[in-house]
């Protein structure tokens, strides 16, 4: 999967964000923006071109081609003869076609891995309140690849406004939440389906909000918080094949930090949140999102953090934390 935000030779990152990003990369704007601004400010106005491949002896490679950037000739990936390029401006055009009456705006747009992946995030106008003062915003996300490693995906997600914790929806489990498009199809083939998803997204968001509100109503009693931690961040036993004293120590430290956030974290102390299953989930999520990462410099550490939260272990921990909270509170 992708590793990091694309950094150009001049040191700038290919990305634009309406909210100042915690990874401190890309261009920050004061508010959501249009696609024209996104593709220009995010430095995403480059094209992908294809080059025929040949074996070392000059034999034709049976239609296999190399995708590369037209601006800097960076190789992105080898693709088959049926692969259909979706240029960045076409992805933006697809997202623009979902924007009705200018209500939906771009929240962020960026490339990853030198341009192997491009991600577009649009903000929807509705805001969902879990408890008084604790709100979540609604987003649509498009992820396309230029390296042939994955399908084009469009789905919906939410972000907790007060601390910018991302909350995964059911879109990775199939159904209404996500559309997948092979690179052998025109992206516009899925336009009708994507519009249906946007039209029906309210049902998905309302269901997710219902679950979050139920978590906020369930107060943890006795040792339930410890039970929760034992599932989300279990301390390895000496009989575990992967056990090492260092690993056990790290997980104990992780649990200590999560426990502190659960008991003392600003957002977890909000009225209506404190001591609930919702606070338990957000303590874990906040820890994962805020955790410093290793790296030789600030940029390397920022990129490592971005990678872990977006697609790596942090992403998986947050999903497990949410599912565990729902099981604990018997939320279906």
pLDDT of residue 100: 60
Residues 70 and 132 in one domain: yes
Sheet holding 48-54, edge to edge: 48-54, 60-69, 75-79
160 with 30, same domain? yes
Q: Are strands 27-28 and 15-17 parallel, antiparallel or unpaired?
A: parallel
Chosen domain end from 203, 236, 269: 203
Render pLDDT for 262-287 as a digit per residue (tens, 0 to 9): 999 988 999 999 999 999 999 998 88
Q: 71 lies in a domain? A: yes
Please report which confidence band the pLDDT of residue 308 belongs to, taking 50, 70 and 90 as the band edges. Answer: very low
Residues 194 and 297 in one domain: no
pTM passes above 0.75: no
Domain boundary among 153, 174, 203: 203
The verdict on 295 and 249 lying in the same domain is yes
Give me the pLDDT at residue 103, please.
63
- Asked if residue 163 and residue 233 are part of one domain, the reply reads no
Alpha-carbon gap, residue 160 to 166, rounded angstroms: 6
Query: Per-residue pLDDT for 93 more than 90?
Result: no
Identify the weakest region by mean pLDDT among 11-15, 16-20, 58-62, 97-101.
97-101
| 146 inside domain | yes
Q: What is the pLDDT of residue 171?
A: 38
Does residue 190 lie within any of the structural domains? yes
User: Is residue 210 situated within a structural domain?
Assistant: no
- State whether 47 and 111 are in the same domain: yes
Of all residues in the chain, the percent with pLDDT exceeding 70 is 81
Provide mean pLDDT across the span 38-65. 88
Q: What are φ and ψ of residue 172, in 5° steps?
A: -80, 0
What value does the mean pLDDT take over residues 125-131? 89
Given a cut of 90, whether residue 96 has pLDDT beyond it is: no
Both tokens of residue 151? 């399908």
Same domain, 230 and 180: no
pLDDT at residue 298 tops 80:
no
Pair (143, 34) in one structural domain: yes
The kind and range of the H/E element at 69 are strand 60-69
Confidence of residue 310 (pLDDT cuts 50, 70, 90): very low
Query: Rounded CA gap, 137 and 149, in Å?
Result: 30
Domain, as residue range, for 180 = 15-203
Q: Which residue has the higher pLDDT, 104 or 129?
A: 129
List the beta bridge partners of residue 276: 219
Q: Is residue 64 part of a domain?
A: yes
199 and 222, same domain (yes or no): no
Total domain count for the chain?
A: 2
What is the pLDDT, as a whole number, of residue 20?
67
Does residue 163 surpass a pLDDT of 60? no
Low-confidence winner among 64-73, 102-111, 142-151 (lowest mean pLDDT): 102-111
For residue 162, is it within any domain? yes
Instruction: Mark whether 52 and 136 lie in a shared domain.
Output: yes
Same domain, 101 and 133: yes
pLDDT band at 23 (very low <50, low <70, confident <90, very high): low
Please spell the DSSP secondary structure of 98-164, one letter per residue. Answer: T--TT--EEEEEEEETTTTEEEEEEEEEEEEEEETTEEEEEEEEEEEESSSSS-EEEEEEEEETTTT
In a domain, 180, yes or no: yes
Last residue of a domain, one of 203, 237, 266: 203
Residue 174 has pLDDT above 50, yes or no: no
Q: For residue 323, is pLDDT > 60?
A: yes
- Helix, strand, or coil (residue 7): strand
Do 153 and 20 belong to one domain?
yes
Residue 113 lies in a domain: yes
């Amino acid at each position: 999967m992708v590793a990091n935000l694309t950094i150009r030779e001049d040191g700038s990152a290919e990305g634009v964000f309406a909210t100042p990003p915690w990874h401190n990369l890309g261009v920050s704007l004061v508010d959501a923006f249009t696609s024209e601004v996104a593709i220009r400010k995010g430095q995403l106005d480059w094209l992908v071109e294809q080059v025929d491949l040949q074996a070392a002896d000059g034999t034709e490679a049976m239609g296999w081609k190399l995708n590369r950037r037209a601006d800097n000739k960076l190789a992105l990936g080898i693709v088959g003869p049926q692969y259909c390029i979706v240029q960045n401006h076409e992805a933006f055009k697809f997202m623009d076609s979902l924007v009705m009456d200018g209500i939906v705006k771009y929240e962020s747009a960026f490339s990853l891995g030198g341009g192997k992946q491009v991600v577009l995030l649009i903000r929807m106008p509705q805001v969902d309140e879990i408890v008084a003062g604790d709100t979540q915003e609604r987003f649509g996300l498009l992820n396309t690849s230029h390296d042939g490693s994955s399908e084009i995906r469009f789905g919906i997600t939410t972000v907790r406004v007060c601390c910018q914790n991302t909350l995964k929806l059911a879109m990775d489990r199939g159904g209404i939440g996500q559309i997948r498009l092979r690179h052998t199809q025109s992206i516009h083939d899925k336009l009708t389906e994507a519009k249906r998803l946007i039209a029906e997204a309210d049902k998905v968001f309302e269901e997710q909000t219902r679950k979050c509100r139920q978590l906020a109503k369930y107060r943890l009693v006795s040792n339930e918080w410890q039970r929760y931690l034992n599932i989300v961040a279990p301390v390895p036993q000496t009989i575990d094949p992967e056990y090492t004293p260092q690993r056990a120590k790290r997980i104990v430290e992780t649990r200590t930090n999560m426990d502190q956030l659960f008991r003392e974290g600003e957002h977890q102390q909000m009225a209506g949140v404190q001591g609930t299953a919702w606070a338990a989930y957000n303590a874990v999520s906040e820890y994962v999102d805020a955790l410093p990462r290793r790296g030789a410099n600030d940029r390397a550490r920022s990129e490592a953090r971005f990678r872990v939260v977006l697609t790596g272990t942090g992403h998986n921990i947050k999903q497990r934390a949410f599912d565990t909270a729902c099981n604990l509170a018997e939320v279906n």
